[in-house]
Amino acid sequence: MDLRRLKWWRLEQRAKPPMRRIQALWGSLAALAGIAVVVAILVPFRAHLAEATCALVLVVPVVIGVGIGGFQAGLVAVAGGFLAYDYFFIPPYGTLSVGSRQNYLALAVYLAVMVAVARIVARLQAVRAEAAQRADSARRLFELSDVLITERPLDQLSHVIASTLQGAFGFDGVALLLAHGQGAGLRVGAAVGEAIDATALSLLGSTLGTPASLVRVSPPVRLGGRLPGRQRVTVPLVAMGEAVGALVVVGRALRADERQLLSTYANQAALALERARLRAQVIESEVLAEAERWQRALMGAVSHDLRTPLATITAAVSDLRELGASLLARDRDELLGLIESQSDRLARLVTSLLDMTRIQSGALAARPEPAVLAELVEEAVQALVRTEVPGRLVVELEEPEALVLADHALVVQVLTNLLDNAALHAPEAGAIEVSSRQVGGRVEISVADRGPGVAPADRERVFSMYSKTSGAGRAGLGLAIVKAFVEAHGERVRLEDRSGGGARFVFSLKLAEPSALDEPGEARGVVSPRRAG
Amino acid sequence: MAKILVVDDDPSLRKALSIGLQARGYALVATGNGEDGVVQAALSQPDVVVLDLGLPDVDGIEVCRRIRSFSGAPIIVLSASGEEQRKIQALDSGADDYVTKPFSMPELEARLRVALRHAEAQQPGRAEEAQRLVVGSLVIDLVHHEASHNGRSLELTAREFDLLAYLAKNAGKVCTHHLILQHVWGPQYQQETHYLRVYSHRLRRKLGDWDGTMLRTHPGIGYQLVAE
């Protein structure tokens, strides 16, 4: 199953490339025209000129003809020149008969010289053309290879290969078929230029079946391009002994050197495609690994954050059960209070965890509606009423009655989590400050504490799910939820330094149009029942 | 009155622990971060340290290492289930025992009692008694390679004796597989945990410790020798 043996497998091959014949025709015509001109100029003076002079001048159009059209044109030119010489310049003029013997000699010399000249010029021409071809091949190969160096995704690379090939060779159409994997058949990776019609390609695909069976295709499949001088070529792309696909090109017939070039290029393209495919595999496995890491982080955060309140509840309950009556009334109350506040915390966590999952899965979208800023803050504080937060709170809102666009439930959750976080990290009984100020069309709301603060390098990580054990300190579920909910509003949350130490979390909300509540409709209907509740 | 240092960043758990432990007659020092925990371990000379592994400032394992560098006080680590690797790291860094969150107060108190008992047993006359180890009814003579349990002499192979002696030296402490293998078998045997399963079984049989209350197994983590 040697694919390389079949580097060149032609489905359809027309005879000679047409270019040369066209050139020969032009060369012949040019030579004949030249002869006509020379004759027209020399005829008035022919009586005064030696026959040899005329013969010498007649060399010129022959050389021109050979130069343009090669040896074939040269032969035509020699024949034409010979006839013209005999007819116009060998007496008796106007006939093909030759007068004296001396004139036979002149004609013979002329003929011999002309043929020799045509030979030499034609050979020179051929050598020059070959050199030009080589230079051309080298240039094209360079251009082609150049585009393969850049790392590209597989599909983009396929397209680049196909279009570069088309440009470099002037093909009418190029299609690049990619192997799906061993035994899985071929698919069209890229197609440029004249469509190699789809039915034919699918036919090719089904005929070829697996890439390995490229070698066994026997009946040539007829595809478009039945014009004379056109051919279709299929080149298997083989890298490291494995077929990675095939190139199908339709266009003019190729010279031998071009075929060599196309073959070389196909090898390079195959390697580049294989590389791109392997890279895609690596990327895919990296993405999977990243997803897995994320999931582990989420699990870690969830279990840590759910377990923290549970630890207090379990410890407090076992105290009450064991020590019961022997506890001081104050201590018993405090333990019960802890159980209540931690149960609330647990409930909040579960709710917001569900909300976040729904938002991230797209099942729940934030629905911002006009809301009174002070009321959002109040409700968040209310949720923490059984904790120490309310006693430590300092609220300074720039314009408490400002209307902001907020999804009520989500923003209350954001504030609750930020307050909870502040209470957790501020020194015991230290003040927690909530403030707001208007900036442009937005309100910036901040929650600040006098805790240890967060190093600038860790400020982004604080909002990630990575659990506290990773060393980021404040990270965990609560702040990840804050970030998700604020971003669901199309807004941002950031963490700042506080002058004098501590952390300040700032998030923004858009200001609602002042008239939003005056208009009849949803806005009023939504806000008022909440106020009642 | 034994003094306990609690290092945990959750204020509510700190409060629940302080109420419960004080009501049980312990003196208590509590702090919410690792730096302060290390300082308190030096200043207030606690008899036992209860240390949460997830601290906001310094990693709990690092705190463990730092406290161990100057203090012999037993360290009981608080950690979440599923964090087996972290528990092992902490134990290797000098922690003595661990409690998995959430835990009940009696559970924690039982660990505290074990830690306190072994800490007391080890402290007096350490220098002169270095040839003899006593763990409850177990007596090990390191000079003559002899061991007895309830006054009855034990027939131990050399390796069994080494294992028992190592656990007895660290009585009350949870010794990780890694540490035991390294000290008893040698550094190249650190992966051979099946040795431990075989030898611990033999030791239990010879000690008459059928339910494993004396030589405790901590699955996936290590072994602990506790005086009955």
Joined together, the tokens standing for residue A162 give: 């196909």
Q: Where are the domains of chain B?
A: 3-122, 132-225
Per-residue HEC secondary structure of A208-249 comes to: HCCHHHHHHCCCCCCCCCCCCCEEEEEEEEEECCEEEEEEEE
Radius of gyration of chain A (CA): 44
- Judged by DSSP in three states, A180 sits in coil
CB contact under 8 A, A473 and B53: no
- The angle at the Cα of A419, spanning A417 to A423, to the nearest 5 degrees, equals 115
Q: What is the per-residue pLDDT for A211?
A: 42
Last residue of a domain, one of A283, A301, A326: A283
- With a pLDDT cut of 70, the percent of chain B lying above it is 95
Nearest CA in chain B to A304: B80
Query: Are A33 and A94 contained in the same domain?
Result: yes
* Residue A3 falls inside a structural domain: no
Q: Are A118 and A75 in contact (CB under 8 A)?
A: yes
- pLDDT beyond 70 at A1: no
Chain length of chain B: 228
Nearest-CB residue to B105 (from A303, A319, A341)? A319
From chain A, pick out residues whose CB is under 8 angstroms from the CB of B13. Answer: 308, 311-312, 315
* Residue A160 falls inside a structural domain: yes
- The angle at the Cα of A18, spanning A16 to A22, to the nearest 5 degrees, equals 135
Amino acid identity at A464: S
* Residue A35 falls inside a structural domain: yes
Phi, psi for residue A191 in degrees, rounded to 5:
-140, 130
Q: Could you give the number of structural domains in chain A?
A: 3
Last residue of a domain, one of A236, A255, A283: A283
CA dihedral of A24, A28, A30, A33, whole degrees rounded to 10: -170
CB contact under 8 A, A307 and B19: no
Query: Are A103 and A185 contained in the same domain?
Result: no
Which of A319, A328, A386, A467 would you mutate first to test chain B, the one with the most B CBs within 10 A? A319
* Residue A4 falls inside a structural domain: no
- CA A242 – CA A175 distance, rounded (Å): 20
Joined together, the tokens standing for residue A168 give: 């470099």
The enclosing domain of A390 has a CATH number of 3.30.565.10
- Give the residue among A113, A34, A16, A20 at the shortest CA–CA distance from A70: A20
- pLDDT beyond 90 at A262: no
Last residue of a domain, one of A78, A102, A136: A136
Joined together, the tokens standing for residue B205 give: 């049989």
- With a pLDDT cut of 90, the percent of chain A lying above it is 10
For B132-225, CATH gives: 1.10.10.10
- Peptide bond just before B219 cis, omega within 30 deg: no
Q: Model confidence at A323, in pLDDT bands (50, 70, 90)?
A: confident
CATH architecture under which domain B3-122 falls: 3-Layer(aba) Sandwich (3.40)
Q: Model confidence at A19, in pLDDT bands (50, 70, 90)?
A: low
Give per-residue pLDDT as tens, A137-176. Answer: 778 778 778 878 877 888 888 888 888 888 878 888 888 8
Joined together, the tokens standing for residue A237 give: 């792309």
- CA A352 – CA B186 distance, rounded (Å): 51
ipTM for the complex shown:
0.79
Count CA atoms within 13 Å of residue A301 on its CB side.
26
* Residue A293 falls inside a structural domain: no
Radius of gyration of chain B (CA): 18
Q: What is the per-residue pLDDT for A373?
A: 92
Q: What is the per-residue pLDDT for A517?
A: 61
Domain that holds residue A277: 150-283
Nearest CA in chain A to B54: A469
- pLDDT beyond 90 at B63: yes
Which of A527 and A350 is assigned the larger pLDDT? Answer: A350
Q: What is the per-residue pLDDT for B123?
A: 59
* Residue A217 falls inside a structural domain: yes
Nearest-CB residue to B102 (from A311, A424, A425)? A311
Give per-residue pLDDT as tens, A89-134. Answer: 887 787 777 777 777 787 788 788 888 888 888 888 888 888 887 7
H helix and E strand count, chain B: 8, 12
User: In A150-211, which residue ranges form alpha helices assigned H by DSSP?
Assistant: 154-169, 198-208
Residues of B contacting chain A (CB within 8 angstroms): 9-13, 15-17, 19-20, 23-24, 32-33, 53-57, 59-60, 78, 80, 82-83, 86, 101-108
Query: Are A120 and A257 contained in the same domain?
Result: no
Nearest-CB residue to B20 (from A303, A315, A474)? A315
Query: Are A154 and A24 contained in the same domain?
Result: no
- pLDDT beyond 70 at A202: no
CB contact under 8 A, B16 and A316: yes
Give per-residue pLDDT as tens, B150-204. Answer: 888 988 999 999 999 999 988 888 999 989 999 899 888 888 888 898 999 999 9
From chain B, pick out residues whose CB is under 8 angstroms from the CB of A326. Answer: 23
Which of A307 and A9 is assigned the larger pLDDT? Answer: A307
Which of A307, A339, A345 would you mutate first to test chain B, the one with the most B CBs within 10 A? A307
CA dihedral of A37, A43, A44, A49, whole degrees rounded to 10: 120
CB contact under 8 A, B19 and A335: yes
Query: Are A402 and A275 contained in the same domain?
Result: no
Query: Are A130 and A158 contained in the same domain?
Result: no
- pLDDT beyond 90 at A39: no
Question: Chain-wide mean pLDDT for chain A?
Answer: 77
Nearest-CB residue to B82 (from A303, A313, A319)? A303
Q: What is the dihedral sign for C-alpha A455, A302, B102, B225?
A: negative
Q: Are A496 and A475 in contact (CB under 8 A)?
A: no
The enclosing domain of A212 has a CATH number of 3.30.450.40
User: How far away is chain B from the Cα of A337, in angstroms, using its nearest Cα?
Assistant: 10
From chain A, pick out residues whose CB is under 8 angstroms from the CB of B23. Answer: 319, 323, 326-328, 331
- pLDDT beyond 70 at A384: yes
Q: What is the per-residue pLDDT for B66?
A: 93
Phi, psi for residue A105 in degrees, rounded to 5:
-60, -45
Q: Model confidence at A196, in pLDDT bands (50, 70, 90)?
A: low
Query: Are A45 and A127 contained in the same domain?
Result: yes
* Residue A335 falls inside a structural domain: no
From chain A, pick out residues whose CB is under 8 angstroms from the CB of B103. Answer: 311, 314-315
Least confident of A92-106, A477-491, B4-18, B27-41: A92-106
